[in-house]
Chains A and B, each alone.
Chain A
Amino acid sequence: MSLRDRRAWETFVRLADTLVADFDTIDFLDTLAQDSVELLGVDAAGILLADYAGTLNLVALSAQQTRAAGLSLLRQAEGPCLDAYRTGSVVQCPDPLTFRDRWPDFAPAVLAAGFSAVYALPLRLRDQAIGAMSLFSAKPGKLDAEAADLGRALADVATIGILHERAFRHHEVVIQQLQHALNSRIVIEQAKGVLAERLHLPIEDAFAVLRGYARDNNLKLAAVADAVTRGALGDDLSIGSAQGEHPRGREPRGYRPRRPGSPLPGDAVYVPNTASRTSRMRPSSSSTASWSRPAAGPWHRPAADSRIRPARKAR
């Protein structure tokens, strides 16, 4: 068995194991996107679902830190993902020249992000597409036949992960399931914002904290996100019973004079390896070191009103 075959085998066994258990859809799709990158030899993968308005929404991405780069391209109206979804067939664009011809608005963002080739597959349910999976490569060139087959299989697994068996019979149930997945993603994004603000982290690190907490405590990502957005995150960064929307009567953090560099209450502080470790939110050790110092921002100075400030110089 070739190395790629073996890795493909292991990946599918792991994905199948996940599917039969009670699993978290968004976490599953994120993992699948990451698996696609490793298995197919590409540099980035994204999974998009269509909503009831026919717009494609990004629900999973292979690597969070590349989001900052031109992966806003996935939100463009035009592009291979949309074509794949609408036509229900694979769309392949192996070099930058073809990009510019077919998608003149989309191409600059892709190329600026450092990608030269894109391969988009529809997520198909019988004769209908519910979304698309897109694969980006830094090197130009087509996807070889074997990788194309594997990509097809991974896309099918993604579809199965999103829809339950009974959905295959009724279209309106399909829409219900898609709504559920789309809603879950929205709540997770909102929770990322809440955590980023509470813990003074960049958005990507906030997501790592969220996912780490869910995994450590064997909870679904969507459930943790739901608790966080309901204000159930305590000052000690544990999730207890909901304490109401937000604690009232606390002095606004931004108004307290403090020495720059000293931690604020609620800052992410490294929790030593104690028995109670897993019950608290903590930045994962694999995240960047930015959690140990406050990220640049205006909240340590009193702000009279909200107005756009000039962007900080690079740290």
Chain B
Amino acid sequence: MEALGQFGVNIWLLTAQIVNFLIIFYVIRRFALKPILSVLKNREKTIKEGLQQAEEARKMFEDAQEKEKELLKKAHTEVKQLLEEAKSQRKDMLQTAEAQTREAAEKILAEARSQIVLETKEAEKRLSAHVSQLAVMYLEKSLTGVFGEKEQSEIFDKALKSVKKKAD
């Protein structure tokens, strides 16, 4: 004790300070530390939950991004496929339409050719008949008065013989 006193330490003061400290420590522990710890714990819990939610949100966002990428990729593929199919169908339709048009045109041409042939033949026939009629008319006109009584008598006798044969 004396030694401590030599070093300038007042034992009573020290004791009182220790007691004071203990009392303050007890009071603080009893009334302030627990609520503060509780608040800190709550805060920690809230932060942890926030962090967890943020992590979940980040994961969800990443998943959503992934899904979006997949959907976009799928949609792109489908669109590409649809375009290919549309191109193919367009090509087929064009080919079919072209074939049908060609066939129809050929049919019309064949019919027209046939019609032309028929009409040409008909015209030739009419022309031939007309020419022969004209020839006969010309002959009739030019032969009028050409034959005399002698020729007429000969032909008449022949005609009578023919009639007689028929009558017999």
Answer yes or no: do A and B interact.
Answer: no
